[in-house]
């Protein structure tokens, strides 16, 4: 394994699969304080010949494009090849979150590579602005129902709308299900939850897990009320689906953080964390409370965009419990009397005194 410094903290690392494919892990600063990875893979395929694949493309924000571009050149130098955007044959996106596809406008202006994404996230790329408007309306309603005070609600909506200019719609060349959940030697598993069209890719004895499973961090959850095929129920099912499909990979490369050595152990830890959080939410809701109040108790110290992430995370857990009849709405009369959304007060059904 050879290392070349790009910044004091982050290095390009090389790995080799048991089938002889070469992998370069390219670090990028995607948002202030958020590092992530794209992966460059050099692999031979019987039908497609030499494939030069990029998995994910960074956020396109700040230094992200620069880190990706120089990272690719450095990876090429380490592999004894001339590699740049122009040499790529395929770009495979793990899921439709901006820190994974936002760099596509920059990359595709310089590349003829075929772009693939799962069906359920295709619209995120092709109809980026339309989707933001549609989800924005749902988010507004969700925040009212969550009991977020109006001034804070407006600040969150403004923050959300400001992401409109981050990306121009991009055409997609192929979707994974239409390609038989394969791309050359890459096998693909659909794992909805963290994102509707999230996939995990397998190449020989290595996996690329995007944000479905990460080391050190529990991937973010949002309620399905905001986007179909997300939510904790889908996510937990997809964790188990990955466990049985994965076949003990040697390493699992996430979109952030270090590679995972023991995938099953990591899945167990994430699963246990959600069970614990569900119990905590039940206990918080012994007293009738809104999602906003649950969020404050679960995550007391959050600021900026993390306020929205905390509200979504709390809402995903409340939704999961409510769906299973473990919570009830304490202010049903108020809801029935109103034609529009009202703050909903939840309480634990079996915890009543």
> Minimum distance between the CB of residue 118 and Zn ion, rounded to whole angstroms?
13
> Minimum distance between the CB of residue 259 and Zn ion, rounded to whole angstroms?
15
Angle, CA of 179, 246 and 272, to the nearest 5°: 125
Is 234 a binding residue for Zn ion by CB under 5 A? The answer is no
Pick the closer one to Zn ion by CB: 76 or 315. 315
Residue-by-residue DSSP string for 277-295: HHHHHHHHTTS-B-HHHHH
**For residue 277, what are the CA distances in angstroms to 166, 256, 294, 352?**
33, 22, 11, 20
Six-digit token string for 68: 């990706």
Is 56 a binding residue for Zn ion by CB under 5 A? The answer is no
Buried-exposed string 130-150: b where 16+ CB fall within 10 A, e elsewhere: ebbeeeeeebbebbbbbbbee
**String of contacts with Zn ion for each residue 204-233, x by CB under 5 A:** -------x----------------------
> Minimum distance between the CB of residue 255 and Zn ion, rounded to whole angstroms?
4
Six-digit token string for 97: 């979150």
Pick the closer one to Zn ion by CB: 193 or 255. 255
Stretch near Zn ion under the rule CB under 5 A, chosen from 19-27, 101-109, 164-172, 255-263 = 255-263
> Minimum distance between the CB of residue 98 and Zn ion, rounded to whole angstroms?
9
CA dist., res. 46 & res. 16, Å (int): 19
Pick the closer one to Zn ion by CB: 121 or 170. 121
CA dist., res. 226 & res. 32, Å (int): 26
Pick the closer one to Zn ion by CB: 4 or 31. 31
Pick the closer one to Zn ion by CB: 97 or 204. 97
> Minimum distance between the CB of residue 100 and Zn ion, rounded to whole angstroms?
6
CA dihedral (41, 258, 280, 290) in degrees, to 10, reads -60
Pick the closer one to Zn ion by CB: 69 or 211. 211
Pick the closer one to Zn ion by CB: 213 or 285. 213
Positions in 270-289 near Zn ion (CB under 5 A): none
Helix axes 291-298, 305-323, angle to 10 degrees: 110
> Minimum distance between the CB of residue 210 and Zn ion, rounded to whole angstroms?
7
Positions in 76-105 near Zn ion (CB under 5 A): 97, 99
Pick the closer one to Zn ion by CB: 37 or 40. 37
3-state secondary structure of 210: strand
CA dist., res. 124 & res. 198, Å (int): 12
> Minimum distance between the CB of residue 293 and Zn ion, rounded to whole angstroms?
26
Q: What share of the chain is helix, strand, coil (3-state, %, to 5)?
A: 40, 20, 40
Is 121 a binding residue for Zn ion by CB under 5 A? The answer is no
Contacts 24+ apart (CB under 8 A), 295-304: 295/146, 304/159
> Minimum distance between the CB of residue 91 and Zn ion, rounded to whole angstroms?
16
Is 313 a binding residue for Zn ion by CB under 5 A? The answer is no
- Total binding residues toward Zn ion, as defined by CB under 5 A: 4
Judged by CB under 5 A, the residue of 147, 184, 193, 255 near Zn ion is 255
Is 58 a binding residue for Zn ion by CB under 5 A? The answer is no
Binding site for Zn ion (CB under 5 A): 97, 99, 211, 255
């Amino acid at each position: 394994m050879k290392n070349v410094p790009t910044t004091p903290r982050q290095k390009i690392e090389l790995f080799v699969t048991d089938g002889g494919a070469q992998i370069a892990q390219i670090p990028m600063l995607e948002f202030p304080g958020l590092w992530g990875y794209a992966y460059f893979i050099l692999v031979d395929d019987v039908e497609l010949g030499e494939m030069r694949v990029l998995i994910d493309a960074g956020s396109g924000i700040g230094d992200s494009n620069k880190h990706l571009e120089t990272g690719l050149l450095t990876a090429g130098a380490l592999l004894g090849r001339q590699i740049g955007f122009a040499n790529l044959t395929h770009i495979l996106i793990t899921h439709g979150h901006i820190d994974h596809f936002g760099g596509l406008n920059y990359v595709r202006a310089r590349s003829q590579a075929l772009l693939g994404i799962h069906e359920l996230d295709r619209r995120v790329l092709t109809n980026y602005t339309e989707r933001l408007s549609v989800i924005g309306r749902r988010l507004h309603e969700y925040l009212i129902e969550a009991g977020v005070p109006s001034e804070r609600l407006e600040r969150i909506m403004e923050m959300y709308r400001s992401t409109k200019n981050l990306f121009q719609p991009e055409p997609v060349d192929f979707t994974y299900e239409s390609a038989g959940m394969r791309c050359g030697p890459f096998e693909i598993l659909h794992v909805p939850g963290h994102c509707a069209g999230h996939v995990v890719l397998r190449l020989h004895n290595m996996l690329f897990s995007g944000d479905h499973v990460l080391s050190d961090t529990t991937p973010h959850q949002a309620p399905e009320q905001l986007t179909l095929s997300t939510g904790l129920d889908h996510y937990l099912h997809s964790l188990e689906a990955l466990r049985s499909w994965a076949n003990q990979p040697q390493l699992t490369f996430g979109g952030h953080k270090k590679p995972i050595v023991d995938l099953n152990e990591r899945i167990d830890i994430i699963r246990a964390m959600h069970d614990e959080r569900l119990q905590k939410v039940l206990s918080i809701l012994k007293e009738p409370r809104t999602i906003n109040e649950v969020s404050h108790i679960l995550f007391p110290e959050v600021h900026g965009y993390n306020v929205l992430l905390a509200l979504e995370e709390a809402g995903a857990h409340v939704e999961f419990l409510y769906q299973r009849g473990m919570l009830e709405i304490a202010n049903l009369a108020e809801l029935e009397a109103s034609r529009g959304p009202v703050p909903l007060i939840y309480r634990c059904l079996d915890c009543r005194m």
